[in-house]
Structures are given as C-alpha cells and as structure tokens.
C-alpha cells in the first residue's frame, strides 16, 4: 500500500513539474494586449484584493481536505486516489494553457518581462524553481510568470478540496458540506472580481475537475468497470491501467466512512485501553458515592 502511495505521489510531482515547464514556456508567448471580452468581468467591479482572498479560501479548504484524509481509516487509499487525479489534472492543465495563450485578465497584474531571445535551458530551470518556490500562488509574490489561464488552477484546487471533504467526511456532517460549498463558491467569486482568471477558465476547470472526480470514483466503486470487455468503454481512458493498479485490493467499494487516529495500531490499542480503564475507574467511583 505504501508503494502505491509513493508511486501516485511521484505521478503528481511529475504532473506539477510538467505544468511549471509549460508555464515557463507559455510566459514567452503571452500576447500583450487588452483583456478579452468577458460577460462577467465586464459587468462586475474590479477588486484588487480578490485574488489574494480566493487564495486564502483555497488554503483553508485544502487544510480541511488534508485533515479529512489524515483521519480517514483508509487514508492510504484516499490519498493515492487524490494524487492520481491531481496528476491527471496537472497534465490536462499544462496542455490546455500551452496550446492557447490568452492575454492577462487583469492589466494591472505584474508579469516578469519577456526575453528578447529563445529561452535557454538554464533560464527555463530558473523559472521553474521560482514557480515551484511559490507553490503556484500569488500571495507570496513568486507568481510572476503569466499565461496559465485555461484552465484555472485555483478553481481546480478549490473544487478538488470540496469533493474530498464531501466524499470522505461523515454524511451527517451536512452542515460542514454546506459551509465548504459556500466557501468554494465565495472563492470563485473572489477569483473573478480580482481578475485572476476569465470566466471561461473557471467553467472549463469545474467541468474537467468534476468529471475526472466522478468518472474515477464511479469506476473505482464498480467492480465490473475494472474489467476489459465490450461492456466497458471506460477502459479506453488512457489512465485506466493506473486505476486498475491503484484500486486493486481495496477493502470495500465504496470505501466505508470510518475514522481513527493516524498512529500505529499498537499505540492506538494502548490509548484505547487507557481510556477504557479511566472510564471504568470513574464508573466505580460513582457507584461508591
């Protein structure tokens, strides 16, 4: 199981690296003219703080999603699913914004000057290091390379975190799901009024992220969809063999919503015994009184 987690993590890291290289190259091709017409951006007031606010929402949702994964009993299954889907989304995004480069949605956003020559390998690596050091966020001042619009990485991350929380937290936590959904929508609103992306970037990001999530989980939860045959066209997905490998030996489909502390079983047993012993002592004290 740990090997699968490690391999899925490598896949995510590779996808992220491809995205950074793609952005470093795309920056040189970004056109320098006015923003494109956008029905939402053209009819809403610009708020400079919007992009930063959307990233704070993204961070909060990401931390909540991490907490859900950490305390899930089948955390290793969940995390490798997330890593595999995240890697896929990074690859899709790297291709999309490289093939079609849009002008800045926010003319006031600072972008590093473009080179007057063909980018060298050393310059490319320097750009990649700078992008990685900032984690793809603007709030730390490291996101100075532009052109990664279609599709929105902010929207992708926000909704991926929402899907994780909704799918793997207890169903009775409906109020948490409602709050998280409201935060996700608020984060998208902040992103748009801050001119972090065009509306089309957000729409495409939502459809790709949601369809990747639902397709993967439908296949993961349905044993017959793991089998090749004329009944299963979903095996034509280029990542099907990855799903087939990572979903082998999963204990139950779908995963039960069970939770425990992320500590070794031996230590968890000792903690449980200690709690039970203290509970028994307290009950005995009450009987004497």
Q: What is the DSSP string of the chain?
A: -HHHHHHHHHHHHHHHHHHHHHHHHHGGG---SPPPP-TTGGGS---TTHHHHHHHHHHHHHHHHHHHHHHBTTHHHHHHHHHHHHHHHHHHHHHHHHHSPPPPSSTTS--PPPPSSPPPHHHHHHHHHHHHHHTT-STTS--------SS-HHHHHHHHHHHHHHHHS-TT-HHHHHHHHHHHHHHHHHHHHTTSS-HHHHHHHHHHHHHHHHHHHHHHH-GGGGS-STT-GGGGSTTHHHHHHHTTT-SSSSPP--B--SS-HHHHHHHHHHHHHHHHHHHHHHHH-
User: Active-site residue numbers?
Assistant: 154, 197, 201
* pLDDT tens figures, 10-30: 999 999 999 999 999 999 999
Per-residue pLDDT for 265 more than 80?
Answer: no
Average pLDDT over residues 255-275: 74
Lowest model confidence (mean pLDDT) among 114-128, 195-209, 261-275? 261-275
pTM confidence score: 0.87
Q: What is the pLDDT of residues 208-226, one digit of tens each?
A: 999 999 999 998 888 878 8
Q: Give pLDDT tens digits for 100-148.
A: 999 999 998 888 998 888 899 999 999 999 888 888 788 887 788 998 9
């Amino acid at each position: 199981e740990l090997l699968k987690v490690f391999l899925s993590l490598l896949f995510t890291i590779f996808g992220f690296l491809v995205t950074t290289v793609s952005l470093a190259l795309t920056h040189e091709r970004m056109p320098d003219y006015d923003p494109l017409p956008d029905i939402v951006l053209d009819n809403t007031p610009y708020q400079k703080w919007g992009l930063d606010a959307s990233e704070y929402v993204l961070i909060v949702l990401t931390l909540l999603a991490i907490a859900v994964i950490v305390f899930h009993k089948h955390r290793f299954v969940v995390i490798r699913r997330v890593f595999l889907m995240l890697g896929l989304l990074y690859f899709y995004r790297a291709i999309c914004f490289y093939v079609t480069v849009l002008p800045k949605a926010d003319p006031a956003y600072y972008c590093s000057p473009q080179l007057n020559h063909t980018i060298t390998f050393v310059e490319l690596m320097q750009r990649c290091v700078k992008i990685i050091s900032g984690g793809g966020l603007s709030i730390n001042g490291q996101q100075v390379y532009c052109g990664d619009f279609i599709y929105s990485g902010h929207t992708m991350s926000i909704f991926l975190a929402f899907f994780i929380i909704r799918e793997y937290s207890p169903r009775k936590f409906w109020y948490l799901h409602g709050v998280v959904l409201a935060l996700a929508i608020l984060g998208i609103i902040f992103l748009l009024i801050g001119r972090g992306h065009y509306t089309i970037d957000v729409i495409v990001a939502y459809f790709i992220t949601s369809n990747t999530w639902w397709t993967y989980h439908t296949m993961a939860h349905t044993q017959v969809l793991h089998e090749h045959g004329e009944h299963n066209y979903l095996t034509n997905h280029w990542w099907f063999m990855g799903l087939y490998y990572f979903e082998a030996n999963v204990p139950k489909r779908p995963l039960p919503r069970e939770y425990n502390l992320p500590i070794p079983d031996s230590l968890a047993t000792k903690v449980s015994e200690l709690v039970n012993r203290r509970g028994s002592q307290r009950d005995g004290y009450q009987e004497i009184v």
